[in-house]
Structure 1
Amino acid sequence: MKKFKLPALVYLILFFMNVNTGSAAGLAKISYTVSFPEAQAHYVEVEMNISGLAQPSLEVKMPVWAPGSYLVREFAKNIESLNVSANGKAVPALKTNKNTWKINTAGLSAVTVKYKVYAFELSVRTSFIDVSHAFLSTTGIFLFPKGMLNQPSTITIKPYKDWNKVSTSLEMVKGDVFTRTAPNYDILYDSPLEIGTQDIFDFDVANTHYEVAMYGGGNYDKERLKKDMAKIIEAEAAVYGENPNKHYTFIVHNKQRNGGGLEHLSSTVLGASRDGYTNERIYHGFLGLVAHEHFHLWNVKRLRPIALGPFDYDNENYTTNLWIAEGFTAYYQNIILRYAGLSNTEEFLGDMVSTINTVENQPGTKVQPLSESSFDAWIKGYRPNENSYNTGISYYDKGAVVAMLLDLEIINSSNGKYSLNDVMKYMYDTYYKGLKRGYTDAEFKAGFEKFAGKKLTDFYAKYINGLDAVDYNKYLGYAGYKLTDELAAGNEPTLGVYTNTRNAITTVLRNSAGWVDGLNVGDVITNIDDTPVTDLAAVIKGKKVGDKIMVTVNRDGQNYKIPVTLKRNDNVKYSFTELPNATPQQLAVRKKWLKL
């Protein structure tokens, strides 16, 4: 691991100063005090003090989205009772749009802005407060003064009752756990805070100190987690040749059922099932989540699409490259477990074939190109409806598949000299460390081509910007594998709908029997051929492809009889199969790919 020549925090300050110019009040001093007098009602009270002003007016704004979660969430909707004062007197604050308040500061050198924020959505991207803890997702808590994104700030926390711990990547001030500082707003908004009585354990990996904050209890084994998380961290740092953090914080919210994660520059927030740690399948999934979010500290938080920094906190930040930022990270979460010895070959291939099946069984893969999926994340990816399965594809899933294809292409074309790892390190060194900026689509394509030793224009036209069916066996053949569809010879009938436990239709698949003959989402299937339905799957399984059946549905309180002609179930169920008599070249590619 290479040593960081400058202290990490200094480097980051210089980086963000370079990319995020401010326009006003270079001498302004900004501080916040957060308190929780009504924690039981899910409120935080924020006092924002701004001094050193020398301007006739000031605008304070609330971000509308959280970086890493590509949806405008309108955090200002949770603000109430905002008032401004100076010298003990009220100062008018005019709300000029959904997330902006304008303050008349003529003749004033300092103002105090007080407001309350309602927080009752425990997710990795939103804030939650009750008497047990406070999770502050900072983009939804702290207003910022327009034109001062480069300004440092100090946060003083007044804890509720017996709360005695703060877990965050923000630095302490004079060793005070309840006083934190941020060098600029990009750092503040990338540093969530967990405040309460959470269980904390820590460990070191090389020169980086790791803290894990567990909220909600659970049957986790701290010593096992320390060892397994350390293996993941070491394997990921090996890809890039360094760990740019001196300390890193995992915030884990353990609930009865939970999942998901959100990456940050020097921390991450994870959702986990509190009693799932002793279930090997669930534990494997949790380690994959750890690997995914921690890998982001390089891929997207530092090595990033050029559109994702400096951030525009008022509007969408569009990029066609989330398939690299997220999809590649989804691929690495699987292969890193293999590198770290936390999964075997069969488990890794099983994870990948599961992703392939997800992609290939989604009708939207034939409708939405991968690059468009990324660009439209703001209006489609995070706003799914009943027809999304038919119209779109996940840049996580298909991006992971594309990463696998490119990894195999690079290994094979370079005769085992290079892999996708070399591309990621080269791009990190060149654009984040060298040029200190994000990359363009063309620049990353050139990075792939550099290590593949060939043009990938056709690959991009087919699989990134186009809708061609993926030639899996071409790429898997490089490593002596092929895909076998276990359902290829089947002739199973299907309605082409998904239903819930009440037999209510939740999805109608494009071009299926239900699609063609007019079944609707929301229809409750009550009878097939006048026979009451208790087990829909069993009834359909007893029919044949081409059978014409009469489906009775309850639609908006009225019964309808709809004739439907059953079609063949075209879903695939792929599995990996080794090619017989694999060549030395194929075995060499396999060895390089899977680190055998």
Structure 2
Amino acid sequence: MNYKIYSKNKVSHFIDVECEIENINTNTIELQLPAWRPGRYELQNFAKNIQNLDVFDEKNNLLSTKKVSKDRWEVSCNGATTITAKYNYYANTINAGSSFVDENVFYVNPVNLCIYAEGRINESCNLYLQIADNEQIAGASFQNAAKSDVNTIHFHDFFHLADTPFIISVNLKHDFYNIGKVKFNLWFQGNFSREYLKQIKTDFKKFSQEQIKVFGNFPEKDYHFITWVLPVPYYHGVEHRNSTMQILGPDSQNFEELYTDLLGLASHELFHTWNICKIRPIELLPYDFTKENYFQTCFVAEGVTTYYGDLMLYRSGVFDRNQYLKELEACYKRHFDHADSAAQSLVESSWDLWLDGYSQSIPNRKVSVYHKGAISAQILDLHIQKVSNKTRSLDDVMKLMWKVFGKSTNGTPLLGYTMQDYKNICEQIAGEPLDWYFEKCILGKESLFDLLNEYLQLIDLQVVRNEEGLVNLKII
């Protein structure tokens, strides 16, 4: 499949897409636009942003096309062996998983707006882009793009293309740091001063090295932190196989406050390079872009990652103890002040991400796989350290998960894990059965307040409730 992505009229906020599909030998072919994107487990129905779609044969004759679902089109090929779908996509929303175009910025998450041919999702793809003399492009796979030429960027398959966001702009700022042979790129769009890059490079390198120590190696040849700083309050990031897209704001905010957000977001998203981009639940291998991909273990994908995001900043020396405790307290407050008596378990809320996981629910219904998931991960980490006299920790669980389910050797495909697989590895590292932990923390619905305090005392901490019943963290 060959794609051209451009905009005939940037002020209109429409992105134009052409998708050429060759070697057709059937009477009909079905074209599918993804209904959701990895990293956000809810249907987003991107097809609602397509204004018009037409399909043509090699001689530019219009072919008969009909919709067979909300985001799938059936094309009557009429003997054509090559077809080209031409359509436009309305891109007027800025978040870490959207696409946006105006006279200043061309920002694309291909999963939003690239269709694929049914049965051919594993075929290689080419993307054609044009970059003006005064523009730069930020994104994985684009570092060799040459200005003023029509660039051809090759992707292994549609999954690779869909997982590679990019920004083209005249205002991009770039720097990088190296860890071994891996180049970590820093891209900034928006109102951002270069004077902060030295500090950012130093701190980012520290937490990157700490994360690599956990797993033993970095799974990609390079990595790209792409950050867009907005004039309005925002905090959102999305993980990709060797990049992250991050949206932060406001740009008028005190830099130290914005910087804390940047560090927390970037550390979290980098940890996803291992945990979800590679170590992935079996239900998500491969992604099915046409419908919900229900799975029970988002408390591993997001909860463990949330726990480690701040822990890596602390262990690497980027955060001091007071900064780390402030972030811990924020996590505790988000759970205990708002969802301590919720009716759902972590497993149930993982499943129901597809229902209302990212929006306000009815009172006391769901828990956050991020916040309760992080609290449960900390309890497990402290328990493993306790029973092993600090010779093992949750690090060892993640190392073994990486070895068994994340590391692809000699081109072998990744193996997806089940909740039982995760339990088995946790028990192997702990050296004892953990039925109590999974029954109470993962499958259970009761409060974790007392259990958390039981383990926090091991590190001289305690959560307490004030007169209003709100939680605070106390050093003991």
Superposition pairs of residues 505-584 of structure 1, within 5 angstroms: 569=468, 571-578=469-476
Q: Tell me how far apart the structure 1 counterparts of residues 66 and 372 of structure 2 sit (CA, whole Å).
A: 46
Superposition pairs of residues 314-325 of structure 1, within 5 angstroms: 314-325=290-301
Deviation at 1:366, TM superposition (A): 3.3
Code of the aligned partner of 1:142: C
Contact 1:202-1:211 at 8 Å conserved across structures: yes
**Aligned to 1:102, what secondary structure does the other structure show?**
strand
Deviation at 1:277, TM superposition (A): 7.5
**Aligned to 1:402, what secondary structure does the other structure show?**
helix
1:46 aligned to which of 14, 17, 41: 17
Contact 2:63-2:78 at 8 Å conserved across structures: no
Q: Tell me how far apart the structure 2 counterparts of residues 449 and 180 of structure 1 sit (CA, whole Å).
A: 45
Structure 1 gaps of 5+ residues are: 1-29, 491-568, 579-596
Contact 1:68-1:263 at 8 Å conserved across structures: yes
Q: Tell me how far apart the structure 2 counterparts of residues 228 and 299 of structure 1 sit (CA, whole Å).
A: 21
Q: Tell me how far apart the structure 1 counterparts of residues 6 and 145 of structure 2 sit (CA, whole Å).
A: 20
Code of the aligned partner of 2:397: V
TM-score, with structure 2 as normaliser: 0.93
Deviation at 1:258, TM superposition (A): 1.9
Contact 1:359-1:365 at 8 Å conserved across structures: no
Which residue in 1 is equivalent to 2:439? 461
Which residue in 1 is equivalent to 2:162? 189
Which residue in 1 is equivalent to 2:229? 254
Superposition pairs of residues 339-358 of structure 1, within 5 angstroms: 339-358=315-334
Deviations 1:177-217 (A, max 9, x none): 83311110111111112112222222222211122221112
1:207 aligned to which of 164, 181, 188: 181
| 2:365 matches 1:391 | yes
1:97 aligned to which of 69, 92, 106: 69
Deviations 1:149-190 (A, max 9, x none): 11111111134x666222221256786683311110111111
Contact 1:33-1:158 at 8 Å conserved across structures: no
Deviation at 1:303, TM superposition (A): 0.7
Q: Tell me how far apart the structure 2 counterparts of residues 213 and 274 of structure 1 sit (CA, whole Å).
A: 17
Structure 1 stretch displaced more, 217-226 or 287-296: 217-226
Contact 1:292-1:329 at 8 Å conserved across structures: yes
| 2:464 matches 1:485 | yes
Deviation at 1:67, TM superposition (A): 0.5
Superposition pairs of residues 234-383 of structure 1, within 5 angstroms: 234-256=209-231, 257-273=233-249, 275=251, 279-363=255-339, 365-383=341-359
Contact 1:133-1:163 at 8 Å conserved across structures: no
Code of the aligned partner of 1:203: Y
Contact 2:173-2:189 at 8 Å conserved across structures: yes
Contact 1:218-1:275 at 8 Å conserved across structures: yes
Which residue in 2 is equivalent to 1:447? 425
**Aligned to 1:76, what secondary structure does the other structure show?**
helix
1:164 aligned to which of 135, 153, 172: 135
1:137 aligned to which of 95, 106, 109: 109
**Aligned to 1:46, what secondary structure does the other structure show?**
strand
**Aligned to 2:41, what secondary structure does the other structure show?**
coil
- The one of the two structures with greater contact order (alpha-carbon pairs below 8 A, sep at least 6) is 2
Which residue in 2 is equivalent to 1:401? 375
Q: Tell me how far apart the structure 1 counterparts of residues 322 and 433 of structure 2 sit (CA, whole Å).
A: 32
> Percent same amino acid at aligned positions?
28
Contact 2:188-2:228 at 8 Å conserved across structures: yes
Q: Tell me how far apart the structure 2 counterparts of residues 126 and 352 of structure 1 sit (CA, whole Å).
A: 30
Change (3 A) 1:101 1:366: closer
Which residue in 2 is equivalent to 1:81? 52
Deviation at 1:225, TM superposition (A): 1.0
Contact 1:173-1:179 at 8 Å conserved across structures: no
The alignment covers a number of residue pairs equal to 464
Which residue in 1 is equivalent to 2:87? 115
1:217 aligned to which of 188, 191, 194: 191
Larger radius of gyration: 1
Deviation at 1:101, TM superposition (A): 0.9
Structure 1 stretch displaced more, 465-474 or 228-237: 465-474
Contact 1:62-1:99 at 8 Å conserved across structures: yes
Deviation at 1:248, TM superposition (A): 1.1
**Aligned to 1:253, what secondary structure does the other structure show?**
strand
**Aligned to 2:295, what secondary structure does the other structure show?**
coil
Deviation at 1:81, TM superposition (A): 2.0
**Aligned to 1:366, what secondary structure does the other structure show?**
coil
Which residue in 1 is equivalent to 2:152? 179
Change (3 A) 1:110 1:172: farther
Change (3 A) 1:424 1:201: same
Taking only aligned residues, the RMSD between alpha carbons, in angstroms, comes to: 1.9
Change (3 A) 1:363 1:423: closer
Code of the aligned partner of 1:460: F
**Aligned to 2:282, what secondary structure does the other structure show?**
coil
Contact 1:166-1:178 at 8 Å conserved across structures: no
Which residue in 2 is equivalent to 1:128? 100
Code of the aligned partner of 2:101: I
Structure 1 stretch displaced more, 444-453 or 345-354: 345-354
Code of the aligned partner of 1:132: N
Contact 2:186-2:224 at 8 Å conserved across structures: yes
Structure 1 stretch displaced more, 183-192 or 106-115: 106-115
Change (3 A) 1:277 1:209: farther
| 2:42 matches 1:71 | yes
**Aligned to 1:379, what secondary structure does the other structure show?**
helix
Q: Tell me how far apart the structure 2 counterparts of residues 147 and 299 of structure 1 sit (CA, whole Å).
A: 28
2:394 aligned to which of 412, 417, 420: 420
Contact 1:219-1:276 at 8 Å conserved across structures: no
Which residue in 2 is equivalent to 1:430? 404
Q: Tell me how far apart the structure 1 counterparts of residues 5 and 251 of structure 2 sit (CA, whole Å).
A: 33
Contact 1:137-1:192 at 8 Å conserved across structures: yes
Change (3 A) 1:277 1:361: closer
Code of the aligned partner of 1:575: L
Q: Tell me how far apart the structure 1 counterparts of residues 150 and 203 of structure 2 sit (CA, whole Å).
A: 28
TM-score, with structure 1 as normaliser: 0.75
**Aligned to 2:62, what secondary structure does the other structure show?**
strand
Which residue in 2 is equivalent to 1:591? none
2:452 aligned to which of 458, 463, 472: 472
**Aligned to 2:168, what secondary structure does the other structure show?**
strand
Deviations 1:307-346 (A, max 9, x none): 1120110001111111110011111111000111011223
Which residue in 1 is equivalent to 2:126? 154
Q: Tell me how far apart the structure 1 counterparts of residues 25 and 145 of structure 2 sit (CA, whole Å).
A: 30
Code of the aligned partner of 1:485: V
Contact 1:91-1:103 at 8 Å conserved across structures: yes
Deviation at 1:286, TM superposition (A): 1.3
Change (3 A) 1:174 1:136: closer
Q: Tell me how far apart the structure 2 counterparts of residues 251 and 163 of structure 1 sit (CA, whole Å).
A: 19
Contact 1:276-1:282 at 8 Å conserved across structures: no
Change (3 A) 1:177 1:341: farther
